[in-house]
Chain A
Amino acid sequence: MQATFKVYRFDRETGGKPGFQSYALDLPEDATVLDGLFKIREEMDGSLGFRASCNRGLCGECTLRINRGGRLACITRIASVLTKDREVSVEPVRNVLVLKDLVYDVETLLWKKIKSVRPWLDPARPEPEREYVVPDEKLRPVRNAMKCYYCGLCDEGCSVIPFDKTFVGPAALTKAYRFVSDPRDGARAARLRALGEPRGIWDCVHCFEADEHCPRGIEPTQRIVDLRDAAVAAGIKSGTKNPQVARHYDSFAASVRKSGWLDEGRLALETWGVRRIFDLLPIAWRAFRRGKLPVPYRHPKRKGAERIARIFEKVQGKHS
């Protein structure tokens, strides 16, 4: 099988500008992209830098952008990605610092963030003599989250990170979820409080890009939503540095509970308080003049509101 590999090259050492270099290859029919990269390095150009380890889709080391999609090179068959011009483009993932060619800074993209979520079990004391006695279905969410092999594709596809590299990101939050969902962990409330701080769970836009990008079906976005739901159930609706997030939740819930629908005017006021509203006055005035400003508290109670309130009561009853 003939294929032309267009590989991203960049060497900080020799300076020079990044670019794509073409290599014409002849490989077996079932060859993978990683096979192609090795052929280049071993037979054509020993200076090509790329990472690889397990060669069977289990360790995440060879995560690259292949024909504009994030994948593991070792299990991507060339035949399945070859364009009609018989080309395959290979480059680092997006939104990362490139160190050399296809070797990029995973420390900043991923490892540092993973380390920031207290990523070890904080055992609930006292520990039993033997194994913890736990129903298996309680460990399934833990195992699901632990399928993660840190390919970083969820962070790479995240909507927020290109705008704000300090957002802790779906990979680290999935790691955090692994502990929050583990019945053997004793630090749940503290974790949810820490995760509720800025750059954590409330900074996620729940756009579901992470779910689309995860090659292991872990659904990181759903895990973040699970964390938010767990926080709310524990009465923790923000961290300490972003109290407006908790006020926003409470106000939203209160108006839906009261009238069945959202009272946006009340929401703005209760989230931000009167002082902050002054900053928003120019826009509020413009909105008011266009008849767009919902008047707070003068919110009609819709039919069925008392039924909605009942639902809130029942749910609250579960947590008291």
Chain B
Amino acid sequence: MRCAFYPGCVSRGGCPELYPSAIKVAARLGLELEELTDVGCNGAGVLSREVSDPINARTLAKAERLGLSTVMTICSTCTGVMGQANIKLREDPVYRASMNHEFLADEGLEYQGTISVKHLLWILNEDYGLDRLRTAVKRPLRGLKVSPFYGCYIRRPDAIVEGKPQRKQYLERVIEALGAEVVDFGGKGKCCGFPILTANETNSMAMVAAHTGEAKGKGADCMVTPCPLCHLNLDGSQPRAEAQKGEKIDLPILHLPQLIGLGLGFSPEELHMRRHIVSTRAVAETVRLLT
């Protein structure tokens, strides 16, 4: 399967472990990725849509130009922000025409509304197939207890699942396909607090502590997330969250491609698992014993 690939900003910035892991995993699975190199940040829910809608229209038009029908993302926020923009552009021809006319025409671009924005998580479940994934698994992660954490933008608003409510269970399905055990918990679809890190750090840290604490309390060895922004908070802010709560948590957070990579047989080093704030050593140990 061939997709346009939108890596986002953080996968090579604050979470530099994500990009190489994603590339390795995609190659191993046989997903052909054509990286979009001359497009821009989708705004991440921070930038006003007045400026991010045209940026995203351009990204989608560029992908269309390549003759491709899918843009793959590795970040829940990219999926949601670009996905919402895409839904609006697809369903409102007047708006699409005005975007094209005002912002894309001078570059000779025109978005026609044919692109599908899909996270690697959705592609694995819908296009690649979990059976195929299971066949590719060389090192079943038996005994590894993993809690799923989706990230808001890949679950809400309802339009984003495009009529497929099962998208809200894909992460658990992948965890199981890799042979690991799902540790379900109430906070899996909730907000990690990242968007208010600047505006209200106290609330942000409280959210981190609540969700990681809950998963840890239910016996998870680690958490997996398809969103590097969630990762930045759940992992990067975990020490501060612990300090604020006055409780130790110590729950390693993995990126989705890292978990998949482990199942495919890559080593923790190859997946840059030393680059986390909360040590992943315990996970690495568990995995080594499985080989």
Contact = CB atoms under 8 A, between A and B. Distances in A.
- Is A bound to B? yes
Interface of A: 159-160, 163-164, 167, 198, 202-209, 211-212, 219, 221-222, 225, 228-229, 232-233, 242, 244-245, 248-249, 252-253, 256, 260-265, 271, 282-283, 286-287, 290-292, 294, 302-305, 307-308, 310-312, 314-315
B277 A252 contact: no
A206 B45 contact: yes
A62 to B, nearest CB: 25
A308 to B, nearest CB: 4
8 contacts: A208-B157, A225-B49, A244-B198, A260-B38, A290-B275, A292-B15, A307-B58, A315-B51
Nearest to A202: B199
Interface string B82-108: 000000000000000000001100110
Interface residues of B, number: 54
B141 interface: no
Closest 9 CB pairs of A and B: A304-B38, A208-B156, A303-B38, A262-B9, A207-B152, A308-B40, A159-B191, A232-B48, A207-B191
Given A208-B157, A286-B277, A290-B275, A253 B236 contact: no
Interface in B29-72: 37-41, 43-51, 54-55, 58
A302 B38 contact: yes
Interface of B: 9-10, 13-17, 37-41, 43-51, 54-55, 58, 102-103, 106-107, 152-153, 156-158, 190-191, 193-196, 198-200, 202-203, 206-207, 210, 236, 239-240, 274-277
Contacts of B199: 198, 202-203, 242, 244-245
B40 A206 contact: no
Most buried by B among A228, A264, A311, A314: A311
A312 B198 contact: no
A206 B192 CA distance: 11
Most buried by A among B37, B48, B55, B198: B198
Contacts of A248: 46, 198
Contacts of A211: 156-158
Contacts of A287: 14, 236, 277
Contacts of A310: 106
Given A212-B158, A292-B277, A256 B14 contact: no
Nearest to A164: B203
A57 to B, nearest CB: 21
Contacts of A304: 37-40
Most buried by A among B43, B47, B206, B210: B47
A314 B16 contact: no
A241 B193 CA distance: 20
Given A211-B157, A291-B16, A308 B55 contact: yes
Contacts of A307: 38, 40, 58, 107
B157 A203 contact: no
B198 A163 contact: no
